[in-house]
């Protein structure tokens, strides 16, 4: 197997900061690559909420003063380092006080609004990554970028650094975790990022629908691109509903576009060892799972019963996640013999609507609007079923967590959900969950009803649970596919 030097760059890395699936991926994939004996180092911004003491961040003498010239203004970054907990992966934290010494990561927590200078914040970070590598004298074979926040790196390398000996053998990979986040900004911002005028002229690589679009540029300049499931990689080139207008741009790079399913970090998401759940269990002691359900019911004021299935959701409350279907179906759903718990953060309108329902159906429905790791784990462990009716889903992690926890997923057949959850077929006895195709409340209800009808048949239900628990979505499998991707990138001129 090849040994690569890989610089993995992300705007969030769990457990330092996490707002969604990217944070999980950016910590688990590098660990899996390290286990495959790759020389991998991580780089991320040092945000104020990262606790320097808790994570033992250390100064790096060489990185006391990293000059980062951009758009005619040189800012000074400084770098600290720490290990990713429980691993030997080095993480570099790049700090530019005027850009990152703030309460929020992407948005001001008080207003919920994105910081207006996000383009500059992440452009300086991207440039700082390249300058840091030079100061460290560490020449990576691959710079692995993620999302629009780091999508400028391939562009800077191919333009401003194209004659720089240091980077002659460095190639770039860009992973698109979610095509709906594109890094769109007013065109006037371009010069501040050293993006010349002609590149933001209509049809230029950084122009899209009259705006500056950082993801578009990243897709066009990266040596190789991938998304986080095979199905999503197909959907975004073939279906305008999924491509967000990028179908042609992606099609122009179809030869270099791959789909690699995200993995699960089973050291964190495993009911045998989960530190957040009161009763641990595995597929041989599945009967213990209900101990978690009992705690979850007690905490939410539900009368515990083995016979009443508990349906869980842990989700961002945004359009992508199909919240509107849940709202539309709620009155109907509440006529069923079930309990429902929803944990999520996101749009106010969804919170308000859900809150109203929670008041109306106090004894059956509980909603929690916060980011709560412990409760997320408890829901995975304590619920009988897990609902993900996403409009689109590049990969989705929670359905894979649910499978491992014997919590039967009910999902819309799209993206990574389609790649991981197979509809139960009573005739063959095969399947690990319940799926529906059409994006409608009726189709979703139909799938939930099928699950509810089978639930009392404990033998069949256990069979479905065990089929899910057997599935292996460990990062080892996906990490090997990334190595193949790196090989492909290195063959590029
Ligand atoms: P996305 O990245 O689109 O939000 P994923 O399913 O890929 O969706 O990943 C979501 C991750 O964030 C999971 O680890 C999930 O448990 C976690 N998560 C989402 N909302 C919350 C919340 N309110 N509290 C705790 N964890 C959450």
Helices (H), 307-363: 323-333, 348-360
In a shared domain, residues 324 and 204? no
Inside any domain, residue 199: yes
Predicted TM-score of the model (pTM)? 0.91
Interval between CA 292 and ligand 1 midpoint (Å): 20
Note the pLDDT tens digit of each residue in 209-258. Answer: 999 999 999 999 999 999 999 999 999 999 888 999 999 999 999 999 99
Inside any domain, residue 278: no
Q: Answer yes or no: is pLDDT of 195 > 70.
A: yes
Interval between CA 174 and ligand 1 midpoint (Å): 22
In a shared domain, residues 442 and 485? no
**Mean pLDDT, to the nearest integer, of 10-23?**
94
**Mean pLDDT, to the nearest integer, of 45-73?**
97
Inside any domain, residue 354: yes
Inside any domain, residue 268: no
Residue nearest to atom 24 of ligand 1 (CA): 371
- pLDDT band at residue 2, thresholds of 50, 70 and 90? confident
- pLDDT band at residue 60, thresholds of 50, 70 and 90? very high
Residue nearest to atom 4 of ligand 1 (CA): 20
Q: Which atom of ligand 1 is nearest to the CA of 25?
A: 7
Residue nearest to atom 22 of ligand 1 (CA): 371
Note the pLDDT tens digit of each residue in 202-211. Answer: 999 999 999 9
State what percent of residues in the chain have pLDDT above 90. 97
The neighbour count for residue 134, using CB atoms within 10 Å, is 14
- pLDDT band at residue 196, thresholds of 50, 70 and 90? very high
Ligand 1 neighbours by CB, cut-off 6 Å: 20-21, 24, 314-316, 343-345, 371-373, 376, 395-398
Interval between CA 314 and ligand 1 midpoint (Å): 6
Inside any domain, residue 273: no
Q: Which atom of ligand 1 is nearest to the CA of 316?
A: 20
**21-25, 87-91, 118-122, 141-145: segment of lowest average pLDDT:** 21-25
In a shared domain, residues 12 and 116? yes
Residue 32 in 3-state DSSP? Answer: helix
Residue 112 domain boundaries: 5-263+476-490
- pLDDT band at residue 21, thresholds of 50, 70 and 90? confident
Interval between CA 389 and ligand 1 midpoint (Å): 14
List the structure tokens of 49: 């909420």
**Mean pLDDT, to the nearest integer, of 323-327?**
98
In a shared domain, residues 408 and 455? yes
In a shared domain, residues 390 and 460? yes
State what percent of residues in the chain have pLDDT above 70. 100
Interval between CA 76 and ligand 1 midpoint (Å): 34
**Mean pLDDT, to the nearest integer, of 102-118?**
96
Inside any domain, residue 269: no
In a shared domain, residues 338 and 258? no
Q: Answer yes or no: is pLDDT of 326 > 80.
A: yes
Residue-level pLDDT at 1: 62
In a shared domain, residues 227 and 151? yes
**Mean pLDDT, to the nearest integer, of 96-124?**
97
Give the strand order in the sheet containing 408-412.
365-368, 339-346, 310-317, 385-388, 408-412, 434-436
Task: Let me know if 74 is exposed, middle or buried by CB neighbors in 10 A (0-12, 13-18, 19+).
Answer: exposed
Look-up of token digits 């195709």: 437
- pLDDT band at residue 261, thresholds of 50, 70 and 90? very high
In a shared domain, residues 314 and 449? yes
d(CA 385, CA 219): 37
In a shared domain, residues 242 and 317? no
In a shared domain, residues 401 and 289? yes
Residue-level pLDDT at 479: 97
Q: Answer yes or no: is pLDDT of 61 > 90.
A: yes
In a shared domain, residues 402 and 419? yes
Inside any domain, residue 270: no
Q: What angle do CA 13, 119, 482 make, to 5 degrees?
A: 40
The count of domains in the chain is: 2
Residue nearest to atom 12 of ligand 1 (CA): 20
CATH number at residue 220: 3.40.50.2000
In a shared domain, residues 407 and 382? yes
**Mean pLDDT, to the nearest integer, of 430-436?**
98
């Amino acid at each position: 197997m090849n040994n690569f030097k890989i610089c993995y760059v992300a705007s969030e890395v769990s457990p330092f900061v996490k707002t969604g699936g990217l944070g999980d991926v950016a910590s688990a994939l590098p660990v899996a690559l390290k286990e495959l004996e790759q020389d991998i180092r991580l780089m991320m911004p040092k945000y104020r909420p990262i606790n320097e003491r808790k994570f033992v961040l250390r100064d790096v003498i060489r990185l006391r003063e990293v000059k980062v010239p951009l758009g005619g203004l040189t800012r000074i970054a400084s770098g600290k380092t720490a290990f990713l907990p429980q691993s030997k992966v080095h993480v570099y934290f790049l700090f530019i006080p005027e850009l990152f010494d703030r309460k929020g990561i992407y948005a001001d927590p008080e207003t919920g609004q994105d910081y207006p200078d996000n383009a500059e914040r992440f452009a300086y970070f991207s440039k700082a990554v390249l300058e840091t590598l030079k100061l460290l004298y560490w020449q990576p074979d691959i710079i692995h970028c993620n999302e629009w926040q780091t999508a400028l790196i391939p562009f800077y390398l191919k333009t401003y650094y194209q004659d720089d000996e240091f980077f002659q053998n460095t190639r770039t990979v860009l992973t698109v975790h979610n095509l709906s986040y594109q890094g769109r900004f007013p065109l006037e911002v371009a010069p501040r990022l050293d993006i010349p005028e002609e590149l933001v002229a209509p049809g230029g690589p950084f122009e899209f629908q009259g705006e500056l679009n950082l993801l578009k540029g990243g897709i066009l300049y990266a040596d190789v691109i991938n998304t986080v499931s095979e199905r999503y990689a197909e959907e975004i080139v073939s279906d305008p509903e999924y491509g967000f207008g990028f179908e042609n741009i992606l099609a122009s790079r179809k030869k270099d576009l791959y789909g690699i399913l995200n993995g699960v970090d089973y050291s964190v998401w495993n009911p045998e060892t989960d530190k957040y759940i009161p009763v641990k269990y595995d597929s041989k002691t599945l009967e213990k799972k209900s101990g978690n359900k009992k705690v979850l019911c007690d905490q939410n004021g539900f009368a515990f019963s083995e016979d009443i299935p508990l349906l869980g959701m842990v989700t961002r409350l945004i359009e992508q996640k199909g919240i509107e279907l849940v709202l539309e179906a709620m009155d109907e759903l509440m006529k069923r013999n079930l309990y429902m718990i929803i944990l999520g953060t996101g749009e106010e309108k969804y919170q308000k609507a859900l809150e109203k329902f929670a008041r109306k159906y106090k004894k059956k429905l509980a909603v929690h609007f916060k980011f709560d790791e412990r409760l997320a784990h408890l829901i995975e462990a304590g619920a009988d079923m897990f609902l993900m009716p996403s409009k689109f889903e590049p990969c989705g992690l929670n359905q894979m967590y649910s499978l491992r926890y014997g919590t039967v997923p009910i999902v819309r057949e799209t993206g990574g959900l389609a790649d991981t959850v197979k509809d139960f077929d009573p005739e063959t006895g095969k399947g690990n969950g319940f799926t529906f195709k059409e994006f409608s409340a009726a189709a979703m209800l139909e799938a939930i009803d099928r699950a509810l009808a089978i639930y009392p048949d404990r033998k069949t239900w256990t069979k479905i649970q065990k089929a899910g628990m057997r599935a292996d979505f460990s990062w080892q499998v996906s990490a090997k596919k990334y190595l193949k991707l790196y090989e492909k990138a290195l063959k590029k001129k």
